[in-house]
Chain A
Amino acid sequence: QLQLQESGPGLVKPSETLSLTCTVSSGSISSTSYYWGWIRQPPGKGLEWIGSVYYSGSTYYNPSLKSRVTISVDTSKNQFSLKLNSVTAADTAVYYCARQDFQYASGTYLRGGWFDPWGQGILVTVSS
């Protein structure tokens, strides 16, 4: 059964870079059938899609975060990663990684699919 596990620092200082890694086990990140996504949830609030990456390195980002986000993949380690720079307190959230089924990738947009399974999530607090 495929499993995902987020890892990284739980505390980041304002203006610094948040870096998280998602390790995929019992399955290959190099599957042609899936993207791999990051989603976050501020405490007590709803879900926000951050972006998704294909095993080839193709990415789609939420425009609201695009200027600060980089998502990359390391197929040799079966991992994908999130970097969010210039963080503020508003970036405090539980960050989840998930496998993303999809139907169509145009290069401009991604269509279809769903997130399943998800990692357990990691709380990242931005504070000095």
Chain B
Amino acid sequence: DIQMTQSPSSLSASVGDRVTITCRASQSISTYLNWYQQKPGKAPNLLIYAASSLQSGVPSRFSGSGSGTDFTLTISSLQPEDFATYYCQQTYITPITFGQGTRLEIK
């Protein structure tokens, strides 16, 4: 199975900050990498697909980059509603696997 490792596991930041979350795959996955946001008690919500494509309706302050084994999710200017847990996911090959999550908290 392809292992997905996110860093950091948790992060404290302030409104207006620029934040970057990293996801590393245990082998090359090209750009078969997606990012989800999950708020407490809610289902995950797709933010970025195919490493860098912004899902319709997602604010442009979210962006993704990377290919191969190393990927990043960047939030350019944190808003109060962005405090949540973020997951990366590889769909290069089944079994589909997720990162362990990055919890973004208010400083």
Q: Which A residues contact B (CB, under 8 angstroms)?
A: 37, 46-49, 52, 60, 62-64, 96, 98, 101-102, 109-121
User: Size of chain B's interface in residues, with CB distance under 8 A?
Assistant: 25
- Known A112-B32, A116-B55; contact A49-B44, beta-carbon cutoff 8 A: no
Q: Which B residues contact A (CB, under 8 angstroms)?
A: 1, 32, 34, 36, 42-46, 49-50, 55, 87, 89, 91-101
Chain B nearest Cβ from A55, distance in angstroms: 18
Whether A112 pairs with B91 at a CB distance below 8 angstroms is yes
- Known A118-B44, A121-B43; contact A111-B32, beta-carbon cutoff 8 A: yes
Whether A62 pairs with B46 at a CB distance below 8 angstroms is no
Cβ-Cβ contact count across A and B, 8 Å cutoff: 68
From A48, A109, A118, B94 is in contact (CB under 8 Å) with A109
Whether B98 pairs with A47 at a CB distance below 8 angstroms is yes
A120 to B45, CA, bound (A): 11
Q: For A118, list chain B residues within 8 Å (CB).
A: 43-45
Q: For B1, list chain A residues within 8 Å (CB).
A: 63
Q: For A64, list chain B residues within 8 Å (CB).
A: 95
Whether A62 pairs with B95 at a CB distance below 8 angstroms is yes
Query: Who on chain B is nearest to A60 by CB?
Result: B94
